[in-house]
Amino acid sequence: MRNYYVYMITNTHNTVLYTGVSNDLERRLYEHRHKLTRGFSARYNLHKLVYVEVTADVGAAISREKQIKGWVRARKNALVNASNPLWLDLSADWSSTLGDSSLRSE
């Protein structure tokens, strides 16, 4: 069974939030951090994972992503604050594997 991740990343100062969905969160964070895809997250240096939800239903993941993207910033902040009040990087202990291509799916 495959998992799907709805996630939010931010910059060092927590001033900008990006909401996304992926079936491989580790690979996707690697792409964000190394700016492999041009766009919003690269432009604003978004790299810190501050929120994540997991589901086995791809449709539910996409719907949840769209729902969160439609919220005002205060509501997104409240969601992060509820599970991660210090806005810590939830992937900080993954750092040794994020650069290792042998651990990412192709």
Q: Where are the domains of the chain?
A: 4-94
pLDDT of residue 35: 93
pLDDT of residue 95: 55
Give the C-alpha distances (Å, rounded to integers) separating 77 from 39, 59, 73, 91, 92: 22, 24, 6, 18, 20
pLDDT digits (tens, 9 = 90+) for 36-93: 988 999 999 999 999 999 999 999 999 999 999 999 999 999 999 999 999 999 998 8
Q: State pTM to two decimals.
A: 0.87
Query: Which residue would you say has higher pLDDT here, 99 or 90?
Result: 90
**Do residues 62 and 19 lie in contact, with contact meaning Cβ atoms separated by under 8 Å?**
no
Residue ranges of alpha helices (H) inside 2-70 are: 25-33, 40-43, 58-69
pLDDT of residue 37: 84
Give the C-alpha distances (Å, rounded to integers) separating 88 from 11, 50, 106: 11, 6, 28
CA dist., res. 74 & res. 106, Å (int): 36
* Fold held by 4-94: GIY-YIG endonuclease (3.40.1440)
Report which secondary-structure segment, H or E, holds 51. strand 48-55
